């Protein structure tokens, strides 16, 4: 459903992505791992139109999306759940979630979508009137994920969802991500929790210095000596 072909992306004059190509299929969890500064977040920003690619193309369900504005990309069905949550701190949980549904396509159904999000994250229902800034880290991550789901995406791009969360909550987040695949959603997942990520990923790409250096099935990559040394610290 997503096909990225030979893209180069720059931060000012510095080239951050070099000839990156990858594909994501329907209802597939694809992971992207790599060291900090490898270009993972830059790749996600390029996908969602926050940064322009200087060359190459990005197609989503047969349509070119490189060059489109971010809101148009969301409209087509790609939702980006950013690193560090980026909530609206002075808005309530419910208001933050509703912000994710400001698309004609989904606004009418927002009450039903909200209900689905609350079922996925029951804690958010309890906290719906509370200001986002007063939530704990784990709860904030849940709001960020919930907000991303409010636009009813076909592809969810998630940047480090488990960062800063208690182990028991991390397990829950991974279960939820698997559950989303079960509902037919495709997931593009950046995670530093490499072990748990490769266990649930159908396929994975490894990025180094702005280039994709390895691609393969998640569970197979877990066994590879290079991956174990470089990314699992084993």
Q: Is the dihedral of CA 162, 139, 46, 181 positive or negative?
A: positive
User: At closest approach, how far in Å is the CB of 105 from other proteins?
Assistant: 32
Task: Decide if 57 contacts 7 (C-beta within 8 A).
Answer: yes
User: Residue from 19, 112, 115, 171 that binds other proteins (CB under 8 A)?
Assistant: 171
Binding-site residue total for other proteins (CB under 8 A)? Answer: 34
Identify which of residues 50 and 103 has a Cβ nearer to other proteins in the complex.
Answer: 50
Rounded distance between C-alpha atoms, residue 221 and residue 214, angstroms: 9
Segment 4 to 23, residues that bind other proteins, using CB under 8 A: 11
Q: Under the criterion CB under 8 A, does residue 163 sit at the interface with other proteins?
A: yes
**Buried b / exposed e across 177-204, counting CB within 10 Å, b at 16+?**
beebbeeebbbbbbbebbeebbebbbbb
Which of 65-73, 93-101, 143-151, 165-173 is the region at the interface with other proteins (rule: CB under 8 A)?
Answer: 165-173
Segment 44 to 73, residues that bind other proteins, using CB under 8 A: none
Rounded distance between C-alpha atoms, residue 102 and residue 173, angstroms: 25
Task: Decide if 20 contacts 45 (C-beta within 8 A).
Answer: no
User: Residue from 71, 119, 126, 166 that binds other proteins (CB under 8 A)?
Assistant: 166
Identify which of residues 74 and 81 has a Cβ nearer to other proteins in the complex.
Answer: 81
Q: Which letter does DSSP use for residue 26 in this model?
A: T
Which of 36-44, 48-56, 93-101, 112-120 is the region at the interface with other proteins (rule: CB under 8 A)?
Answer: 36-44
47 CB burial (10 A radius; 0-12, 13-18, 19+)? buried
215 CB burial (10 A radius; 0-12, 13-18, 19+)? middle
Segment 126 to 155, residues that bind other proteins, using CB under 8 A: 134-139
User: Residue from 5, 18, 27, 35 that binds other proteins (CB under 8 A)?
Assistant: 35
Phi, psi angles (nearest 5°) of residue 23? -130, 150
User: At closest approach, how far in Å is the CB of 16 from other proteins?
Assistant: 11
Q: Under the criterion CB under 8 A, does residue 194 sit at the interface with other proteins?
A: yes
- The residues of the shown chain that bind other proteins, judged by CB under 8 A, are 11, 33-37, 41, 83-84, 134-139, 160, 163-171, 192, 194-195, 229-234
């Amino acid at each position: 459903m997503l096909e990225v072909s030979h893209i180069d992306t720059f931060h000012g004059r510095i080239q951050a992505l070099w000839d990156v190509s990858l594909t994501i299929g329907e209802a597939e969890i694809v992971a992207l791992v790599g060291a900090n500064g490898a270009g993972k977040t830059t790749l996600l920003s390029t996908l969602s139109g926050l940064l322009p690619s200087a060359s190459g193309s990005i197609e989503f369900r047969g349509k070119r999306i490189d060059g489109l504005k971010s809101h148009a990309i969301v409209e087509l069905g790609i939702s980006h759940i950013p690193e560090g949550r980026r909530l609206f701190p002075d808005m309530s949980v419910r208001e933050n979630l509703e912000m994710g549904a400001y698309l004609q396509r989904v606004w009418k159904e927002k009450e039903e979508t909200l209900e689905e999000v609350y079922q996925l994250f029951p804690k958010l229902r309890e906290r719906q009137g509370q200001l986002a800034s007063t939530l704990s880290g784990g709860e904030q991550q849940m709001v960020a994920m919930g907000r991303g789901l409010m636009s009813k995406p076909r592809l969810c791009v998630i940047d480090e969802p488990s960062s800063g969360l208690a182990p028991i909550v991390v397990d829950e987040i991974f279960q939820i991500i698997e559950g989303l695949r079960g509902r037919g959603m495709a997931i593009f997942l950046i995670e530093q929790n490499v072990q748990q990520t490769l266990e649930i990923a159908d396929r994975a790409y490894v990025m180094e210095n702005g280039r994709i250096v390895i691609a393969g099935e998640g569970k197979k990559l877990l066994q590879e000596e290079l991956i174990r040394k470089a990314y699992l610290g084993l």
